[in-house]
């Protein structure tokens, strides 16, 4: 996962922003407490959103803490709970298998992935013990994806299905049967959307290097860019997935997180997808203002 | 029974107009059109029943002034709601040209997509109906790109068929879907800069924090 899932800032109240910051820091803390310092480096917004979706029950009091990133000022931070633990475990497993996947890809520089894998090894082994089911399904889906890549699968739905099924598997850890069904659907389309947006983001690079990209197999290109018709087809597919996420969201009461999730599924994802298609979204820095100035922090 | 005002998320002191408005908003949210061929349609239907029951209860308690307000907005009373869902299934069956396609439709209605797909796989004549049903299976699975392609083929083969056309339109013009108050129609592709220029929560809180490390690994 790559940090594409962002709420729309203007839609959030001050309280929402504080909560979102506190869950971000809470996930970082859960990663640190469960897996040590190295695991904190896998933190990103997509995993944070996952913790938000998994959140169970009412509000908990955030406490103010200093940490390695904020040694002086400190930050409000949610203490550990089941949602943060689950999000942390799944993040570690997912990051580990993505690293393995990158290491297996002949096209990429290996040294930094190897270093990262080494740093994450112990954390991964502990996470696998805690969530053997999710570890198994992640591995299976990424193997399936690798086979599809080798076969140069031209169905973007089928390739995206691997990551979608993988994410929706996390819902299996949720106890409430209705929430589980809602999350299965929501996470399926979230995974599908992330996979396709990431493919769109990598399009130019993959076109140049000849790496597999489902959009290159599926659509016609002109001068390394999607044709207008291809773009329209991709947009429809992305929009449909976002709408199905919103429809699923409405069927469960996410309590204090409702506003944050709403701002993601009714606005944020559309905007990120649009920025990616226009080439103005940079994974390294999220959205940038037209002049190249980074958006100010929340 | 649950408090009908709680279901509609309004205080018992709400005016008749406020009750009506709350009911309309919720009915629009859970309207069957928004859950067309959605695997969670049954949950939406449950919600709709609760809302209708709550509205009917409040109307009864308040002596239902004026017209029969329950069905005044077309989202309707429980009976109407039921007929909508029932009507949908009937439509499925009526349109079935042969008993084989009828069995496929029934399997889809029961959510047994694997069986439906297997039956389609055994057919040689890939006509409009075949493509439409294939598209419906894809749509249910969330395979939107293939669903659209099958729907398009179905429409090309049988341009006069309203059901196929409706399914394709629903995919291509999903703006009819519900949006919360204050949210505009969004599309990944639209050119409405004023809205999409809205700042996202990028660089949310800590540039120094771990996120930078992750980016280094992956990007």
A216, part of any domain: yes
The domain that holds A57 is classified in CATH as 1.10.600
Do the beta carbons of residue B171 and residue B139 sit within 8 Å? yes
What CA–CA distance (Å, rounded) separates A85 from A90? 9
How close B141 gets to chain A, by Cα (Å)? 9
| Mutation site for B-interface testing, chosen from A9, A33, A250 by largest number of B Cβ within 10 Å | A250
Query: HEC profile for A93-160?
Result: HHHHHHHHHHHHCCCCCCHHHHHHHHHHHHHHHHHHHHCHHHHHHHHHHHHHHHHHHHCCCCCHHHHH
Q: Which residue has the higher pLDDT, A290 or A146?
A: A146
Global ipTM? 0.84
State the nearest Cα–Cα gap between A22 and chain B, in angstroms: 10
CA distance B51 to chain A (A): 13
Q: Which tokens go with B189?
A: 């592709």
Contact between A185 and B39 using a beta-carbon 8 Å cutoff: yes
pLDDT at residue A181 in the model: 96
The total number of structural domains that make up chain A = 1
- The structure tokens 């390294």 sit at A284
pLDDT digits (tens, 9 = 90+) for B145-154: 999 999 999 9
Q: Is residue A298 part of a domain?
A: no
CB-CB neighbours of A13 under 10 Å: 10
B206: nearest CA partner in chain A: A69
Residue A293 lies in a domain: no
- In chain B, the N- to C-terminal Cα span, in Å, equals 55
Rounded to an integer, what distance in angstroms lies between the CA atom of residue A203 and that of residue A100?
22
Say if the Cβ atoms of B180 and A266 lie within 8 Å: yes
Q: Is the pLDDT reported for residue A103 higher than 70? A: yes
Model pLDDT, residue A74: 67
- Smallest Cβ–Cβ distance between A236 and the set B172, B215, B217 belongs to B172
Geometric angle at alpha carbon A139, from A154 and B40, rounded to 5°: 70
Q: Is B53 exposed, middle or buried (0-12, 13-18, 19+ CB in 10 A)?
A: middle
Residue A285 forms part of a structural domain: no
Please indicate, yes or no, if residue A105 is contained in any of the structural domains: yes
**Looking at residue B67, what is its pLDDT?**
45
pLDDT tens sequence across B190-216: 654 444 444 454 433 333 233 333 332
Q: A273 to chain B, minimum CA–CA distance in Å?
A: 6
In the three-class reduction of DSSP (H, G, I as helix; E, B as strand; rest coil), residue B123 is classed as coil
- Give domain status of residue A286, yes or no: no
Cα–Cα dist A150/B122, whole Å:
29
**pLDDT at position A6:** 82
What is the span of the domain harbouring residue A173? 9-278
A281 - beta bridge partners? A287
Please spell the DSSP secondary structure of A22-81, one letter per residue.
HHHHHHHHHHHHHH-GGGGGG--HHHHHHHHHH--SS----EEE--SSSTTT-EEEPPP-
Chain A residue closest to B46 (CA)?
A: A251
Instruction: Return the half-sphere exposure (C-beta side, CA atoms, 13 A cut-off) of residue B107.
Output: 19
Ranked by mean pLDDT, the top range of A3-7, A32-36, A234-238, B172-176 is: A234-238
Q: Say how far residue A230 (Cα) sits from the centre of its chain.
A: 25
Q: Do B29 and A250 touch (CB under 8 A)?
A: yes
Instruction: Tell me how far apart the alpha carbons of residues A125 and A131 are, in angstroms, rounded to a whole number.
Output: 10
- Chain A CB contacts of B214 below 8 Å: 3, 41-44, 95
* Rounded Cα gap, residues A46 and A90, in angstroms: 12
Q: What tokens does A248 get?
A: 């699923």
Q: Does A289 reside within a domain?
A: no
A79 occurs within a structural domain: yes
B172 vs A contacts (CB less than 8 Å): 236
Taking an 8 Å cut-off on Cβ atoms, the answer to whether B198 and A285 are in contact is no
If you measure CA to CA, which chain A residue comes closest to B143?
Answer: A157
What residue of A is the nearest CA neighbor of B209? A69
For residue A40, the model assigns a pLDDT of 79
Quote the pTM value: 0.85
Phi (first) and psi of residue A294, to 5 degrees: -70, 145
């Amino acid at each position: 996962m790559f940090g594409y899932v962002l709420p729309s800032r203007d839609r959030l109240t001050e309280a929402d922003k504080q909560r979102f910051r506190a869950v971000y820091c809470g996930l970082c803390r859960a990663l640190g407490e469960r897996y040590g310092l190295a695991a904190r480096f896998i933190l990103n917004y997509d995993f944070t959103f996952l913790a938000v979706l998994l959140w169970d029950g009412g509000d908990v009091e955030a406490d103010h803490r200093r940490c390695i990133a904020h040694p002086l000022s400190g930050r409000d931070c949610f203490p550990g709970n089941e949602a943060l633990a689950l999000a942390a475990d799944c993040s570690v497993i997912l990051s580990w298998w993505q690293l393995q996947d990158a290491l297996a890809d002949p096209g990429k520089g290996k040294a930094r992935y190897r270093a990262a894998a080494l740093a994450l090894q112990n954390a991964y082994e502990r996470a696998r013990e805690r969530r053997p089911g999710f570890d198994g399904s992640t591995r299976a889906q990424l193997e399936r994806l690798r086979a599809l890549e080798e076969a140069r699968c031209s169905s973007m739905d089928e390739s995206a299905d691997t990551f979608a099924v993988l994410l929706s598997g996390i819902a299996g850890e949720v106890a409430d049967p209705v929430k589980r069904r809602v999350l299965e659907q929501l996470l399926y389309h979230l995974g599908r959307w992330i996979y396709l947006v990431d493919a769109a983001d990598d399009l130019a690079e993959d076109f140049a290097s000849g790496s597999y990209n489902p959009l290159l197999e599926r659509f016609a290109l002109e001068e390394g860019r999607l044709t207008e018709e291809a773009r329209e087809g991709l947009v429809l597919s992305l929009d449909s997935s976002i709408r199905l996420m919103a429809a699923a969201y409405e069927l469960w009461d996410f309590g204090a997180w409702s506003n944050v999730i709403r701002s993601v599924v009714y606005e944020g994802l559309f905007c990120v997808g649009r920025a990616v298609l226009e080439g103005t979204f940079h994974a390294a820095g999220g959205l940038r203002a037209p002049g190249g100035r980074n958006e100010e922090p929340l | 029974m649950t408090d009908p005002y709680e279901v509609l998320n309004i205080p018992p002191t709400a005016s008749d107009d406020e009750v009506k408005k709350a009911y309309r908003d919720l009915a629009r949210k859970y309207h069957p059109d928004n859950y067309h061929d959605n695997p969670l349609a049954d949950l939406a239907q449950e919600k709709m029943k609760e809302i209708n029951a709550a509205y009917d209860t409040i109307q009864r308690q308040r002596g239902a002034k004026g017209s029969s307000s329950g069905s005044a907005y077309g989202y309707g009373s429980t009976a109407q709601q039921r007929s909508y869902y029932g009507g949908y299934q009937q439509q499925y069956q009526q349109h079935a040209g042969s008993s084989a396609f009828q069995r496929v439709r029934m399997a889809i209605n029961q959510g047994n997509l694997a069986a439906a797909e297997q039956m389609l796989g055994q057919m040689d004549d890939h006509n409009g109906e075949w493509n439409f049903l294939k598209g419906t299976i894809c749509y249910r699975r969330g395979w939107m790109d293939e669903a659209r392609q099958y729907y398009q083929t179905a429409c090309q083969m049988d341009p006069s068929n309203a059901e196929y056309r409706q399914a394709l339109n629903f995919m291509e013009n999903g703006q009819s879907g519900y949006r919360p108050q204050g949210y505009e129609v969004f599309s990944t592709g639209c050119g409405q800069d004023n809205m999409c220029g809205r700042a996202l929560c990028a660089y949310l809180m800590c540039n120094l924090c771990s996120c930078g490390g992750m980016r280094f690994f992956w990007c």
